Amino acid sequence: MGAKNYGLLLSFLLFFTFHFPLFINIPIFAAVNFRLLIIESLKIPMKIYKYPSQEALHEIVKRPTKDARDLTSIVSAVLDRIQAEGDAAVMDYERQFDHVELSRLAVSQEEFERAEQLVSPALKAALQQAHDNIARFHQAQRYAGIEVETAPGVRCWQKAVPIESVGLYVPGGTAPLFSTVLMLATPARIAGCSEIVLCTPPQRDGSVHPAILMAARIAGVSQVFKAGGVQAIGAMAYGTESVPRVSKIFGPGNQYVQAAKQQVALTKVAIDMPAGPSEVLVVADATANPAFVAADLLSQAEHGMDSQVIMVTTSEAMLEAVQTEVAQQLAALPRQEIAAAALENSRLVLVASSDEALAISNLYAPEHLILETADAEQLAARVVNAGSVFIGHLTPESAGDYASGTNHTLPTNGWATAYSGVNLDAFCRKITYQHITPEGIGAIGHTVELMAEAESLDAHRNAMTLRVLKCKNS
């Protein structure tokens, strides 16, 4: 059964089972049993593995894949046209893909002011608190620099220098991710980036979601442009009449956005990291709350149909309870069709010990790892591969998505084995310096000459030899 039909059936049957007994005057205890029986029969079709073999582990950690045969050529064609035609091409693609007619790409000051009036005082306060927490965490990451005398008279040091211009991509799509504005623009401003450009898809009326503009103002974005998808990445990579060319592009997006980021990174601009669909792995034992676990799984499943969620548990009773909870909670979600499709990519895994659970997690290298166990602190200390770790029963992944202070722009698709999530360093370059005195020439000069000669790089050797002679004759 398709995700849409499954979701509709689930909603109808759960509504029926929770309300119909009241109309026909079934005794309460019988109604409860009837409801539980129906819910039990509606368990979500997540794939279940019990005490998996080593061979089965490769299937468990496999991500959902899409047919990308036409992706490269489609993305390349759009990027080539953006590079050649600039604003006109961006607006044409906005007409085609986002179904909106634009006369200009830049968001005006009047639009910012109108957006501020449309955002409720409560949401403004929430945005400000989230920004403050994100800022506090990222300010603590400031690099103080080091200075070392590696040999007498040879002084070396390093300092962090901000990237001058950065581009932030904030998806609109099925959900306006104004939280991503805070996650990207806040550390960019703290790092000292002088130009912070933001591109985001416009709404059908040609406006940008007011909360996105409010977040941009709070976080200190320089300019906002109405552009989504591949055309936004191309505009920031190549520059157009309106959109400045940037040195590095940040932000999540669908498979087309990620392909575009990877293509422009080959020639024109740096990017934050490779990425893919959102994902979470929950490790749960018998002490976990199944309602919490189900909510945590669904919080990622509702991101997109290609998202993936996994629970690894040491309790068979927990596995059963979570299935029931997922079915109940899914029925109440407005994005139920999306979440149901994502659940088809997902797994419930029963293992014998927390050691096995952690081994699966480290093999999977999840974007988000939630540890809902009695020994969560001890398990956290042994995590090797994860984008961000959420410790304990009261620490949902959504806290990190919004307001705890850590960054939610994280490596997915197994890239947590090699990449960090976005942090203050991502907006800086580390430049090294050295200063050598006559004493330093005496200390390392001959070593440099010998090594350069051995590599047959005579000009390298001569650059040092001239200075050695100068110092000897001084």
Per-residue pLDDT at 275 = 83
Residue type, 392: G
One domain, residues 227 and 159: yes
Residue 102 in domain: yes
Domain final position from 246, 273, 300: 273
Q: How far is it, in rounded angstroms, from Cα 148 to Cα 152?
A: 10
Residue 136 in domain: yes
**Residue 36: pLDDT band with limits 50, 70, 90:** very low
Q: Which domain holds residue 344?
A: 3-64+277-405
One domain, residues 8 and 40: yes
Q: pLDDT, tens digit, for every residue of 388-419?
A: 999 999 999 999 999 999 999 999 999 999 99
Residue 185 in domain: yes
One domain, residues 360 and 238: no
Q: Reduced to 3 states, what is the DSSP secondary structure of residue 419? A: coil
Residue 428 in domain: no
Q: pLDDT, tens digit, for every residue of 433-449?
A: 999 999 999 999 999 99
Among 27-31, 75-79, 183-187, 327-331, the minimum mean pLDDT is found in 27-31
What is the DSSP-derived secondary structure letter of residue 96?
I
Closest CA to 349 of 317, 322, 311, 394: 311
Residue 431 in domain: no
Residue 110 annotated as catalytic: no
One domain, residues 134 and 34: no
Closest CA to 38 of 327, 306, 317, 335: 327
Residue 368 annotated as catalytic: yes
Q: How far is it, in rounded angstroms, from Cα 337 to Cα 288?
A: 27
Q: What are the angstrom distances between the C-alpha of 449 and each of 87, 153, 156, 247, 433?
A: 54, 17, 20, 37, 21
One domain, residues 269 and 298: no
Domain final position from 386, 405, 424: 405
Average pLDDT over residues 218-245: 97
Q: What is the CATH number of the domain that holds 461?
A: 1.20.5.1300
One domain, residues 260 and 285: no
Number of domains in the chain: 3
Residues 6+ apart with CB under 8 A from 373: 283, 284, 285, 287, 288, 354, 379
Average pLDDT over residues 191-211: 96
**Identified catalytic residue from 368, 372, 397, 408:** 368
One domain, residues 77 and 169: yes
> E strands, 137-262, where?
146-151, 154-162, 165-169, 195-200, 223-226, 248-250
Q: Are 309 and 280 in contact (CB under 8 A)?
A: yes
Q: How far is it, in rounded angstroms, from Cα 189 to Cα 137?
A: 13
Q: pLDDT, tens digit, for every residue of 261-315?
A: 999 999 889 999 988 889 999 999 999 999 999 999 999 999 989 999 999 999 9
Average pLDDT over residues 163-182: 92
One domain, residues 247 and 102: yes
Residue 430 in domain: no
One domain, residues 100 and 246: yes
One domain, residues 172 and 52: no
Q: What is the CATH number of the domain that holds 34?
A: 3.40.50.1980
Residue 250 in domain: yes
Q: How far is it, in rounded angstroms, from Cα 8 to Cα 340?
A: 10
Give percent above pLDDT 70 in the chain. 89
Per-residue pLDDT at 43 = 58
One domain, residues 252 and 328: no
One domain, residues 299 and 396: yes
Q: What angle do CA 198, 200, 201 make, to 5 degrees?
A: 160
Residue 375 in domain: yes
Q: What are the angstrom distances between the C-alpha of 24 and each of 11, 27, 30, 32?
A: 20, 9, 12, 14
Domain final position from 273, 301, 332: 273
Q: Are 347 and 48 in contact (CB under 8 A)?
A: yes
Cross-strand bridge partners of residue 242: none
**Identified catalytic residue from 367, 372, 397, 408:** 367
